[in-house]
Structure 1
């Protein structure tokens, strides 16, 4: 088996068997491509089935001088998955990445927005333009439901269960979950759907998507990023924010309001509770204030 065939088969496995998103599949395959480029540059002739840990260790050492620990850890994870796949399919008997350690990266703390900052961003939307109502509904949904940007742009009219108070979300790996929706979010979605979207020239195969561009096609990830960045500049917000910042803020504000961590995990669609626990750090300052105010040894 050569590298081309192995990467192509790995791509199909990630898509069909694992049900991963396009972006995740692309990143995994790029990790293997990096290894392949390294082997070509060094003149090392070895196949995916015969490569040894020593060569992989050499590759990891090489990239450690070019990328930060987080990117290095990502590449190691991608290669481990690739060789796990080869073992799973009985192409190899062992994973040569097994003994290669992942660098300590620490946990990256997510950026968040205060409630006032979110209000300022939404108030800065120009509602005199037709896309203004869409953008307001979009940001209210991002923040009000804690969605990923991919989940937002793929939200469909048939996923909205307003009477029951939920929306159906298709997340990573095509896993579905129901997320509660607040009355305010419903209000702005209804205004956009019934007063603006209704008059758009909706293109074929885009009829069910909630958020559309002016040409009646599904809104893109890039467009959502652009809208958020423009609003941040308009309000003079001195933070590097993205659509994902609204998701982080959703989780943070729920936690600060006393919500149960497992409930937040379910709403965010995190497979593991440890992923959700990253938000616990944001409550520590509040906890310190409580200690300083009420503990007898303050």
Structure 2
């Protein structure tokens, strides 16, 4: 029950919330400055109603940074270390903007302005990461009863218009290889590039569609030489590219775990590579942890080294594209599409959790497949065309 008292020309109310079990002292909610008793009573009744329904949020001085730090610790309990790293990087922008402000003081307008600024400055994918991570902080604050409403609710994401230059760049530098380009790349890797296992690395990426992290975590026990399959059960994590300080983690998602069939030629290639290359590296300095793709000391290759190999190989070709290790996964998908493989089979082979991910790669389909589709349509419509043209 609230009590009221007049102080000078204004009214004050006080509501008892009971005895604190920790301190043993009675605690109160109070507010002053009301011009009329009826105003104080109206406000007190609203607070009492919120107390009864559990909706009351006590005033708090918790800053956004304090809550963000608490959230990332909580998030780290269940998330993969790679995911924590991504989230930590993303929330730095929000901490920079809101860090010293009490989280209760951040309004929807403030957050919308922040999202607008991020959209102007960064790519869509990175802004997605920033916004989703910051939203998690606000949701955590709401669950901890530090804020009453979510400033992130119904935030508008302005569409970033691409310039003509960006559209042209996207068209010119597709991030996967056509079939003939893949052949050219692999020929250079095999005959005109010094690292002894670079050819095997890129062939395996291109012929399996594996992620680079999955490839580098691959062990010989994962390869079934009799049934021509590869089991994918783990991924390599090494953000600092220190060959001795790597981690082997569970895959990106549960759907990433799987067993894929592989061309027998690739299986035989790997078998020959093990005997004729890797086994010859083994001496007293070799750290043998059964990894497939290693340096000559037995440590798994680092992704940065693969990227350097790609650049070196591309310089010896006529290919003018911005290719990364992940490009070979897209190349594999595009060539499956060109070969006429059903979209559901492609999803299962690439282990995409959502078929929309697979569908989106259709937007990057190879030029040769487009030409083939046009030729097939022309053949189908040949008789009709004779009557029309």
TM over 0.5: yes
Secondary structure of the structure 2 residue equivalent to 1:216: coil
Structure 2 CA distance for aligned equivalents of residues 278 and 218 of structure 1 = 32
Aligned residue in 1 for 2:344: 262
Change over 3 Å in CA distance of 1:285–1:273 after alignment to 2: farther
Query: Which structure dedicates a bigger proportion of its chain to strand?
Result: 2
Structure with a larger share of its residues in helix: 1
- Hey, what's the Cα distance between the residues in 2 that align with 1:265 and 1:90? 42
Q: Give 1:294's aligned residue.
A: 380
Q: Does 1:125 align with 2:189?
A: yes
1:1-298 maps to which residues of 2 (within 5 A)?
A: 3=64, 6-19=67-80, 22=82, 24-40=83-99, 45-47=101-103, 51-85=106-140, 95-104=150-159, 111-125=175-189, 131-132=195-196, 134-169=197-232, 170=234, 171-173=251-253, 175-201=256-282, 203-204=286-287, 207-281=289-363, 282=365, 286-295=372-381, 296=384
* Shift in alpha-carbon separation, 1:143–1:126, aligned structure 2, 3 A: closer
User: What are structure 1's unaligned runs of at least 5 residues?
Assistant: none
Aligned counterparts of 1:89 and 1:269: Cα–Cα separation in 2: 36
Structure 1 residues 35 and 117: alpha-carbon distance in aligned structure 2, compared to 1, 3 A threshold: same
Does the CA-based 8 Å contact 1:130-1:196 persist in structure 2? no
- RMSD over aligned CA atoms reads 3.1
Number of aligned residues: 290
In 1, distance between residues paired with 2:145 and 2:372?
Answer: 52
Say if 1:221 and 1:39 are closer, same or farther in 2 by CA, change over 3 A: same
SS in structure 1 at match of 2:315: helix
TM-score scaled by length of structure 1: 0.83
Answer whether contact 1:125 1:231 (CA < 8 A) is retained. Answer: yes
Q: Which has more radius of gyration?
A: 2
**Cα pair distance change 1:10/1:268, threshold 3 Å:** farther
Tell me the distance in 2 between the aligned counterparts of 1:191 and 1:162: 12
Q: After TM superposition, give the deviation of residue 12 of structure 1 in Å.
A: 4.9
